[in-house]
Each structure stands twice: as structure tokens, then as C-alpha cells.
Chain A
Amino acid sequence: VTTRDESKAVVRSQKLFQRLLAAYPKVHREKYGPEMAQLFRDQSRDAWREARLRGLVMLWLRVLPDLVKTSLLEHLSSLKGKKSMFDRISEILRPRSVPVRVFRGVFLAVFLLVFGGATVITFILPETYASTTRIKLQTDAEAVAGPRRTAASTAYDPYFLQTQFEVIQSEKVLGKVIEQLNLNVVWGRKYQNGQNLKTIETVALLKGRMALRPVRNTSFVEIRVFGEDKDEAAKIANAIAESYRDQRQEQRRAALMSGIKPLEERVDAQEKRVAAAWENLNRLRKEGNVPDPEPAVEELHSRYPAYLAAKQELEAEAKLRTTLEKKVAVEKIDVDLPPSLLVEITDQAVPGLRPVRPNKPLNLVLGVLIGGVLALGLATVAAAITYIVRKKLHRQTAVN
């Protein structure tokens, strides 16, 4: 085999390969055709140099299946746009592609975390019941019967409700409730390992568990008590209302009694004055020998003027005493007013049917809403960061 033979075989081989390049798509052929032909030419020469014709045959046995396979792949790739591994990598690194997977992943993770947390906390929290007693309040002046009401006594007191709220929460009112329901012992057993609580501590606990609310545009007030034990909450609410009612009644009685006492002293003094006037009249009757039965006023006036004057004085003193007695009687009527006129318990508290806290539907809805908003925000941020990082990588690649 000569060099001439070599060049003939190699040249024919190269020509054949160049013709077979037509099997590739035009774009591929235009871009890489010359290089592929060049490579084949080099490989042909090497093969000839190594094993002459046998080398060329062996080369063709390798190249031909490769050519069939890769030309088919290129056609498929250009026709179907089938994505190879490299295409996928390229797509991932392309800065324009939105990182949907990152967004979806972060969104799901954050949403499930928030919603799951809200659900778990909602179901772990102890249940709290509420019981409400409604009372109708009246000022002391309003409670007094209609005809005795005066413009001054019914004057509007803008601080009445606030003052009464403070009275309801006072140790005087709550102390009675604590004593009545034995809360120092009961709550001590619950919250202080069996040691009794001090009243001041129980009052503080009780204040934290109660809420007072005026019913708009009425004289009604709601006393709401919260507790893990629904029966206890209802009992406490009712006991507070009763204790407050008694307190108001007691307070009013004490105030009125303090006003009646000087009046009664005045009645006693007047009684003495009446007695003295009576004695004076009797003395004058005896001294003046006033006949019995008494003569007419005209005769008394002409014959017994001193006696007549004493008689008129006695009548005036007696009249004043009667007036004072009437006044005391009226004041005593006010003292004995039924307590319901001051504080009327219109609705007794009953044990709650279902817990008010935690509000499960609300918590779950909030979990969905907050989780959704938070997840949306964080997922957007994560996707944006991913996009920026990819863009940077892309720029670096372009620079390199």
C-alpha cells in the first residue's frame, strides 16, 4: 500500500463522510459540519497510519452507527424541542425563568408552618367559659318615688357608671363574693398547691377574670366572668351582682339613717316643747279658773287672754311636732325601699354551653389568612432572591 493509495482511500472516505453529513439538520450542519469533517479527516489519517485499510474499516464501523444515532437525535431535538439534561441545566440557569419551584416550596412550607402552629395552639389551649349577669342600675335619686323627685335630685351624673364600676370591683363587694364562695380555699387548692390564697390575691385574680360592660343607651350593665369551670363562672357572676346590690342598699341605708338621726332628735326636742306648752296651759287653766268645758274663743279672748295665748302656742308646737314626725316617717320609707329599685338583677348568669376561648373557627380562619399572607410574602422574597442570584451567575458566565 503506497502513500498514493493512502490518499485515495482517505480522500474517498472523507468525501463519503461529507455526503453523509447531509443526514444532520441544516442548522447543525452549517454550524458544525466543517469541524466534523475536519475531525473525521484527522481520524481517517490516524486510522490509516495505524492499520491501513483495516483501520479505516474499523473507523467506519464506529463512525457509521454514531452518525445514524446522533443525526436522528439532532432531528428529534430540533423537531420536538426535546429537552436534554443540558437543556434542563440551561433552563434552570436562565435568569428570565421564574423560579416557580422555589416559590411553591417556600409558600407551602410557610403556610403549613403557620396554619399548623395555629391549629395546634388552638387545640392545646385550655377552654374558657363565660357567664354573664345583667343588672339594671338606678341612681339613688331615681330610685325614690316619683312625686318626691326634684330637678336637683335627678340631675345627670356623667361619672355615675364609672363610679359604680369601681364599686363593683372594690374589695368590699368582691370580698363578700370570695367569702361566700370560699374562693381563697378553692383557688388556693387550684393555683397554689393547696395553700390558701390571701383575699387581696384572690381579688386580683377575680378582677382579671371579670369584665364589666355598659349596654349602650340603657341603664343596664353586664357583669361577665370567665373561667375554666363553667358552673363556678356562673356562680361568681351572680354572686358579684348580689353582693353589689346589697352593698348599694347598705350604703344608701347608712346615708339616709345619718340624715334621719338629727331629725329624730329634733322630734324628741319638739316633743319636750309640746309637753312644756301643755303643762303651761294646764297651770294657767288652774290659776285662772278656766271653766271646763272651755268657753268660746271670744270669751277666752276677753276674759282669759293668757290662757288663749298658751293654747295657741301649744297648737303651734304640736303642729310642728306632727310635721317633723311625718318627715321622719317619709325618710324611713326611703330607707326601707326594696333593694331591687337601686340594683335590679334582670338576667341571672347560667353556665356557658360552649367555651368562648379559644375561638376555634376564628383562630383557624386567622391561621389561613395570616399563613397565606406571610407565605405569599416570604415566597415572593425567596423567588426574587433566587432570580437575582441566577442572574448574577448568568452574568459571571457571560463574562468568563
Chain B
Amino acid sequence: MGPGTLYGTIKRLIEAQLIEESDDRPDPHLDDERRRYYRLTGVGQRVVKAEAQRYAEMVAVARGKKLIGKLASAICGGGCQ
């Protein structure tokens, strides 16, 4: 991921109040003072869960329609399980 995409995304996530900068830092020997730490907000956690649920449902639908099997065999060319 390029720096532009990463920090553009971070900016929007902060504006959307899905993440926020954290003051918690790891042990000093693992840390770098230039680093910034971000964490999910309460809303962010709920959005992530909802999004994961949505993906799970999409996968379930795709499985139901046997799309995943076909796709996998097309990608693998029948050579993978």
C-alpha cells in the first residue's frame, strides 16, 4: 500500500470517528518514538463487525450458488483442493 492511500484512509477513518489516535504505547524496547498508534473506536468496532458479517453473508450466498467452487477451480485450474 502506498503512503498516499494509507494516510488518506487513516484521515477519513478519523474523520468518520471509526478510529482514533491512541496514547497507549508498547514497551520502550519494542517502540519507536516516531510511530503513531491508532485504535478502533466503539463505532468503528461495530462497523467492522457489520462489514465482516456482510462479507460472511455474501460468501454464504456465493457458496449457495456454487460460485466459489467454480471460481476456485478456474483459478487453480483443478490443481488445488
A36 at the interface (CB under 8 A from B): yes
B40 → chain A, closest Cβ, in Å? Answer: 8
A400: interface (CB < 8 Å): yes
**Contact flag A86-B18 (CB < 8 Å), given A35-B7, A39-B6, A67-B4:** yes
Q: List B contacts of A67 (CB < 8 A).
A: 2-4
B11 to chain A, nearest CB (A): 7
Q: Quick check: B16 and A86 within 8 Å, CB to CB?
A: yes
Chain B's closest residue to A32 (CB) is: B7
The residue that B11 contacts in the complex, of A31, A39, A43, A71, with Cβ under 8 A, is A31
| Residue A84 is within 8 A (CB to CB) of chain B in the complex | yes
Question: What are the residues of chain B within 8 A of A37 when measuring CB–CB?
Answer: 3
Mostly, the A contact residues are helix
A51 within 8 A of B: no
Q: Is A396 an interface residue (CB 8 A)?
A: yes
Complex contact A36–B7 (CB within 8 A): yes
Stretch at the interface among B41-49, B52-60, B63-71, B73-81: B41-49
Contacts of A90 in B (CB 8 A): 15-17
Give every chain A residue within 8 A of B43 (Cβ-Cβ): 93, 393, 396-397
Band of interface residues on B: 20 to 34
Interface magnitude class on chain A: 20 to 34
Question: With A38-B34, A70-B5 as given contacts, are A32 and B11 in contact (CB-CB < 8 Å)?
Answer: yes
- Whether A69 sits at the interface, judged by CB under 8 Å, is yes
Residues of B with C-beta under 8 A to A69:
4-5
**Are B3 and A36 in contact, CB atoms less than 8 angstroms apart?**
yes
Which residues of the other chain, B, contact A93 by a CB distance below 8 angstroms? 16-17, 43
B28 at the interface (CB under 8 A from A): no
In the assembled complex, how far is the CB of residue A81 from the closest CB belonging to chain B, in whole angstroms? 12
Known contacts A84-B12, A89-B47, A393-B42: does B20 contact A400 (CB below 8 Å)? Answer: yes
B41 to A397, Cβ gap below 8 A?
Answer: yes
Instruction: Please encode chain A, from 93 to 131, with 1 for each CB lying within 8 Å of some chain B CB and 0 for all others.
Output: 100000000000000000000000000000000000000
- Tell me, rounded to whole Å, the shortest Cβ–Cβ distance linking A65 to chain B: 8
Residue contact B17 to A397, C-beta cutoff 8 Å: yes
Q: In whole Å, how far is A397's beta carbon from the nearest beta carbon of chain B?
A: 4
Interface centre among B1, B2, B10, B15 (most CB of A within 10 A): B2
Residue of B nearest to A38 (CB): B34
B: which residues have CB within 8 A of A? 1-8, 10-13, 15-18, 20, 34, 36, 41-44, 47
A-B contact pairs, 22 of them (CB 8 A): A31-B11, A32-B7, A35-B7, A35-B36, A36-B6, A39-B3, A39-B6, A39-B7, A43-B3, A62-B2, A63-B2, A70-B2, A70-B4, A86-B18, A87-B12, A87-B16, A89-B18, A93-B16, A394-B17, A396-B43, A397-B44, A400-B42
Residues of A participating in the B interface, judged by any CB pair closer than 8 Å: 17, 24, 28, 31-32, 35-40, 43, 62-63, 66-67, 69-71, 73-74, 84, 86-87, 89-90, 93, 393-394, 396-397, 400
